Amino acid sequence: MPELPEVEVVRAGLAPAVIGSLITAVSVFDERALTRHAAGPSDFAARLEGRRVTAADRRGKFLWLPLDTADSALIAHLGMSGQMLLRAPDAEAERHERIRISIEHPRHGELAIVFADQRTFGSLAVDGLVPDGPTWIPTQVVHIARDPIDPLFDDDRFLRALRTRGSAIKRVLLDQQTISGVGNIYADEALWAARIHPATLASALSTQASRRLLAEIRVVLVKALAEGGTSFDSQYVNVNGQAGYFAHSLNAYGRGGQPCPRCGILIRREAFMNRSSHYCPRCQRRR
């Protein structure tokens, strides 16, 4: 599933092409791409056509384009394989194309925003905006915590939350109500960098270890952003269809049975919440 870096790469790619653009037409080819928009395709199109996009925002794995109505936005969750692509207005349909939104930008001219999704777990919707501190967010995002590269992320609040959680630290990192944008890949990478076993209870971490972990989370996310995110196949791409290359920088995730880059012991892979955890049994001993 796309995590914070992959979604931020998409948001940053969309921003210059869509901010200030007028939505001229909306075509829905598969209603499964509107699971988050209960009112259906006709209402979805009616609430978008004739509106102008004013910004491109993100929190965790959600991204949204606020509209000039001031109280609504086009919101996207990419699910497991969703893609937001920028295409020429007359471009041929993409494989697995579900929705096409035609726009006209005052500088870039006519473009198409294509939502393609092989597994159909992603969705678009038009959602209302509500205040959240100095910002406005869609109602579908109010339960999502800020992410660690958000300037308004509260470090102390996060550290206090860890002290009260009796769950494994990796499980806590995947809880989007505690910290958003950190998925399986970047949790494994940050825990490896911080030398913390994924099954360590969050409440058992010292303040020093917790701060070290938060710092490593930020380092991993920023580096992944700089490298365009992590792409293991053609599903995770930017708005131009290009894959990120952070997969070549992974130290733990996906390296089960391979030597730890730090100590040489084989990375261990274990089942975890219908997924897998990857860690070094020497560097990340469970205390």
The residue range of the domain holding 247 is 155-279
| Largest interatomic CA distance in the chain | 59
Single out the residue in 141, 172, 202 at which a domain terminates: 141
Domain-embedded: residue 284: no
Q: Distance between CA atoms of 217 and 201, rounded to whole angstroms?
A: 17
Q: Is residue 111 a contact partner of residue 20, using CB atoms and an 8 Å limit?
A: no
Confidence of residue 228 (pLDDT cuts 50, 70, 90): low
CB 202 within 8 A of CB 162: yes
What's the confidence (pLDDT) of residue 137? 96
Which residue is associated with the tokens 């040489």? 264
Asked if residue 21 has pLDDT above 90, the reply is yes
Confidence check: pLDDT of 10 > 60: yes
Please check whether residue 149 is in contact with residue 190, taking contact to mean a CB–CB distance below 8 angstroms. Answer: no
Q: Is the pLDDT of residue 231 over 50?
A: no
Cβ burial, residue 34 (10 Å; 0-12/13-18/19+): buried
Lowest mean pLDDT across 49-53, 75-79, 124-128, 271-275: 271-275
Average pLDDT over residues 13-37: 96
∠ CA 7-13-19, nearest 5°, is 110
Res 83 pLDDT > 60: yes
Whether 280 contacts 265, CB under 8 Å: yes
Cβ atoms within 10 A of the Cβ of 274, count? 5
CATH number at residue 47: 3.20.190.10
Query: Is residue 204 domain-resident?
Result: yes
Query: What integer pLDDT is reported at residue 3 of this predicted model?
Result: 74
133 found inside a domain = yes
Q: Are 164 and 71 contained in the same domain?
A: no
2 pLDDT above the threshold of 90: no
Candidate from 12-16, 34-38, 277-281 with smallest mean pLDDT:
12-16
Q: Are residues 136 and 163 in the same domain?
A: no
Mean residue pLDDT across the chain: 91
Cβ contact 180:60 at 8 Å: yes
**Is residue 150 one of the residues assigned to a domain?**
no
- Please state the rounded mean pLDDT for residues 27-38: 97
How is 31-43 classified by DSSP, letter by letter? GGGGTT-TT-HHH
| Alpha carbons within 13 A on the beta-carbon side of 258 | 10
Clarify whether residues 173 and 211 are in a common domain. Answer: yes
Please say if the pLDDT value at position 244 is more than 90.
no
Note the pLDDT tens digit of each residue in 252-286. 998 999 999 999 999 999 998 888 999 999 999 98
> Do both 39 and 114 map to the same domain?
yes
- Nearest Cα neighbor of 222 from 258, 197, 193 is 193
Considering the domain boundaries, does residue 287 fall inside one? no
Q: Which residues are marked as active site?
A: 2-3, 61, 275
Q: Is the pLDDT of residue 51 over 90?
A: yes
**pLDDT grade, residue 81 (50/70/90)?**
confident
Task: Note whether 76 and 20 are same-domain residues.
Answer: yes
Express each pLDDT in 130-158 by its tens digit. Answer: 999 888 999 999 999 999 999 999 999 99
Q: How confident is the model at residue 234 (pLDDT cuts 50, 70, 90)?
A: very low
Calculate the alpha carbon distances from 201 to 39, 145, 162, 228, 258 in Å.
43, 21, 9, 32, 26
- What is the model's pLDDT at position 247? 63
Percentage, residues of the chain above pLDDT 90: 75
Closest CA to 109 of 47, 28, 48, 20: 20
Q: Which of 90, 112, 141 is the last residue of a domain?
A: 141
Q: Is residue 275 part of a domain?
A: yes
